[in-house]
Amino acid sequence: MKMNPFIKIRRDLHQIPELGFKEFKTQSYLLEYIQSLSQDRLSIKKWKTGLLVKVNGLNPIQIIGYRTDIDGLPITEETGLPFSSEDDSRMHACGHDVHMSIALGILTHLVENPIDDDVLFIFQPAEEGPGGAEPMLRSAEMQDWMPDLIFALHIAPEYPVGTIAIKEGLLFANTSELFIDLKGKGGHAAYPHQTNDMVIAACTLVNQLQTVISRNVNPLDSAVITIGKITGGTVQNIIAEKARLEGTIRTLSPESMAKVKHRIEALVKGIETGFECETIIDYGCMYYQVYNSEPITKEFMEFIRHETDFELIECTEAMTGEDFGYMLKEIPGFMFWLGVDSPFGLHHSKLTPDEKSIDVAITVMTKFMSIKGKRV
């Protein structure tokens, strides 16, 4: 029995995950497939390691955008799949291989069945970091083909195949990375009074950071500060001169993000004084909230309910981050969760999305985009 071509594409891409702005093999694979299609209505531009592919419509009055991310994560795969990553240090652990195969399926359909409007497919690098959406949006290449509407999806391991989960308004949180470096004075473990111990300073700061959420954020609001990694010191009998905290901040509004950062900076300043040390704060990548435009999202929800056999779930907002938010900030549109029924969650080394979800998404989006892009 012949394999579904877009499942094969997903498996091919799954084997070659690459980190942000290093997606060279991925770009070549995508380009080779796209160039195998009829070129009569296709226009292609490269942007860094990404691609912009426009399917020219029959009688266009607008450009409909569809975005997929293309990068992987620095995770060692543990799925045991026969098509596992060829690189032990990288994995498509967030479903971007599934996202890309779906985008190619929609693109193929629209090349073979053109609609009236132009459709721009955005193969965006570096979603996982350092953030490709905002610079791609600002690029001359995309500015020339700026969509009037834009859509995207993200796999959801917790939902069964055949489920579309979405809501109007806020879907994903504002997010920011958080890196804090502390430098004091190291020394022999037997003479702590002659040092400024940065392991103690780091531990004190971690505890203080938890008070930002419990005592500075409105209990009816939501925010998260997670410190996922602490490093400090060299060996067991030397007091640490340096320590580093690495974490993430999540809030449901830009205003709360600013307030949380202001409080973090005050606490870090206090650590400087109390432990007589130097500190540096780096917020790394910052992603804007994913906010679904109400009218078009409501229209899509009605379409799922009445024009498909798939299940619609009106979900709640999540503390996940997605740099697609920068595009939705400028262009009306939406993102939705696609059920893929995996026992392991996003960014897990054993994530195994059900590949039947690929056809679900292709069916939903080709039909919806055909309705949006065709005039009576």
Which are the catalytic amino acids?
Answer: 69, 128
DSSP 224-255: EEEEEEEEE-SSTTEE-SEEEEEEEEEESSHH
Separation of first and last alpha carbons in the chain: 40
Q: Is residue 200 helix, strand or coil?
A: helix
Nearest partner of 284 among 234, 334, 228, judged by Cα: 228
Instruction: Please report, for residues 122, 152, 361, the alpha-carbon distance to residue 116 in angstroms, rounded to integers and kept in the order given.
Output: 19, 20, 21
Strand residue runs (E) in the chain: 42-47, 50-55, 63-69, 118-124, 149-156, 163-166, 169-172, 174-183, 187-188, 223-232, 238-239, 242-251, 278-282, 286-287, 290-292, 311-314, 333-339
Based on its alpha-carbon atoms, the radius of gyration of the chain, rounded to whole angstroms, reads: 23
- The C-alpha atoms of residue 345 and residue 175 are separated, in whole angstroms, by 19
